[in-house]
Amino acid sequence: MDGELKFFYAALVIVVAVLGGLVAVKFLPPRLSGLTPPPFYTNVTNITGVGDGLLLSLSITQCHVKPKSATVLIELNGRVIEEASLSEVSCGSNNLTMGLSPYLVGKFATVVVNLSLEGGRGYVLSYFLRYIYVAESFKIVNISLVNGTPVAYVSYTTPFRTEVSLSNVILINVNRSSTVFGFSCNSTRSAVVGPGTGYLALPLACSYENLGVLSPGDVYQVRGLINVTYLTPYGNYSEGVGSLAYQR
Amino acid sequence: MPTSASDLARAAALLVIISMVMVAVLPAVTASARYYSVRIGFIVSISTPTGVRVSLYLPMLVPVVLLAAAAFYELRGARSSAAYLSIAALSYYIVVALELAHGLSYLRGLAVFYGIPGALYSLLVVPGARPTIYLPPLIVMTIASASTLIASIWPEVRRAPEAAGELARRGFGASLEELERTRPWAARALLEMAKYLPEAREGETGTR
């Protein structure tokens, strides 16, 4: 080793050193995080559907540097679904209203908050995982005969204009374990309701009817699939909601 | 000639020591923009509007240790070992500096990660803070490595023409300079042959 310098050994030394350097940086990167306090702390304290909008509460605390403006993105599977901006934000609580896409309802989404710092001092990006809670429910509460035709009553709460229809409805007399209506029991039409809460009556056409097992005082089980289509400016979004209820 | 070779070795050792100190003290990579600066070497310093913090980055101690060993070997006369060590230190340093610069260029600016409660993660981004490799330690280190390399092959380089001159006198009855004028092909052949003569390699055994 201490004799004549061999180019082969020199090349070997370079290769080992280069690989060593790569491994060192890969497994022991410099730790810059936590070295200095962040300009401020950010948190998404609440994100809730209100009507057909989404209300987001943004808390900014311990401001070493004042925030200037905010841009909030809501991403689902890496795709931006909603975006909103606030031209002025303050240290404290800030509320932001943005559109509510039907794709976000009842989903875990990534909320990306981009807060720019006063005086062009860069920006702070924060990523949050939040459940988008929106009040919505659909349920078949009752089936009764109106002029000899079975009619299903559906209670609903929806944030959007919605088209509702029923399929695979079945009414069972629990006391007698007998089916009253069933087997390809679908609504004869669909109904469009506005956003909000209400009741809806949909006539049914059933291939099997056994009115003989209808008896006052018995308990009946109502099952069915509620086909919901949200009619929104973002486009139509359909989903099926299962429903199970008991009636007397 | 041995005197000049040892002088060169001492000068190389001095350069290695200087580069070792520079690598230990100065950053390898810097990135700065208004109100912000990050300097990463063995000493890491980060300055933001919320404060200045200093810490150590242990992987950057590796070239310092290699250079210290190179200086030690150089002073003891083990010149090829010193050359290998200084080359290793330089290669390691360049690769680490390049990797750090690449890592810092995330989001086209300076990015500092923060762990904020409730968030998946959070980062401060300073646009326009372009990471650059800090050149002074790199330049001195390159010169130091080159000098250890030259010191390790110096005796061979100096003795080969002497041995070629002796061959020219014995074989052709003329000096090497004369032979280069009259028969350059013969002079080139003698120079090449002289590299492999034992006389040309004597200096190396003396350095062991």
B59 vs A28, A42, A110: nearest CB: A28
- Mean pLDDT (whole number) for A175-187: 82
All residues of chain B having their beta carbon less than 8 Å from the beta carbon of residue A4 are 80, 153, 156, 201, 204
| pLDDT for the residue numbered B2 | 46
All residues of chain A having their beta carbon less than 8 Å from the beta carbon of residue B49 are 39, 64-65, 121
Q: Do A122 and B36 touch (CB under 8 A)?
A: yes
User: In this structure, are A98 and A192 located in the same domain?
Assistant: no
Question: Residue B37: inside a domain, yes or no?
Answer: yes
All residues of chain A having their beta carbon less than 8 Å from the beta carbon of residue B152 are 5
User: In this structure, are A95 and A191 located in the same domain?
Assistant: no
CATH code of the domain in which B49 resides: 1.20.140
For residues A99 and A72, what is the distance between their CA atoms, to the nearest angstrom? 12
Q: Which residue has the higher pLDDT, B17 or A40?
A: B17
CA A63 to each of CA A43, A60, A67, B112: distance values in angstroms, whole numbers, following the listed order:
13, 7, 8, 17
For residues B39 and B47, what is the distance between their CA atoms, to the nearest angstrom? 9
| Residue of B101, B43, B42 whose CA lies nearest to B67 | B42
Percentages helix, strand, coil for chain B, rounded to the nearest 5?
Answer: 65, 20, 15
Q: Give residue-wise pLDDT tens across range A135-154.
A: 888 888 888 888 878 888 99
Q: Which residue range is the domain that position A194 belongs to? A: 137-247
Q: Which residue range is the domain that position B26 belongs to? A: 2-153
Question: Residue B100: inside a domain, yes or no?
Answer: yes
Å from B9 to nearest chain A CA?
14
pLDDT band, residue A1 (cuts 50/70/90) = very low
Domain boundary among A131, A147, A177: A131
| pLDDT for the residue numbered A241 | 85
For residues A235 and A161, what is the distance between their CA atoms, to the nearest angstrom? 11
| pLDDT for the residue numbered B141 | 93
pLDDT exceeds 50 at position B195: yes
pLDDT exceeds 80 at position B145: yes
Which distant-in-sequence residues (6+ apart) come within 8 Å of B131 by Cβ?
B29, B30, B31, B38, B100, B101, B104, B105, B110
| pLDDT for the residue numbered A12 | 93
What is the DSSP-derived secondary structure letter of residue B21? H
CA B109 remoteness from chain centre: 30
Assess contact for A168 and A185: CB atoms under 8 A: yes
∠B97-B99-B100 over CA atoms, to 5°?
65
Model confidence, pTM: 0.61
Q: Give residue-wise pLDDT tens across range A104-136.
A: 888 899 999 999 988 878 888 899 999 988 888
pLDDT band, residue B109 (cuts 50/70/90) = low
| Residue of A113, A108, A109 whose CA lies nearest to A86 | A113
- Closest-CA residue of B relative to A42 is B116
Question: Residue A12: inside a domain, yes or no?
Answer: no
Question: Residue B180: inside a domain, yes or no?
Answer: no
Percent of chain B with pLDDT over 90: 34
pLDDT band, residue B138 (cuts 50/70/90) = very high
Q: Give residue-wise pLDDT tens across range B65-92.
A: 999 999 999 888 788 889 999 999 999 9
| pLDDT for the residue numbered B157 | 59
pLDDT exceeds 60 at position A3: no
| pLDDT for the residue numbered A207 | 82
User: In this structure, are A63 and A106 located in the same domain?
Assistant: yes
Question: Residue B11: inside a domain, yes or no?
Answer: yes
b/e A14-37 (16+ beta carbons within 10 angstroms → b): beebbebbeebbeeeebebbebbe
Q: Is B65 left (phi over 0), alpha (psi -120 to 50) or beta?
A: alpha
- Give how many domains chain B has, as a whole number: 1
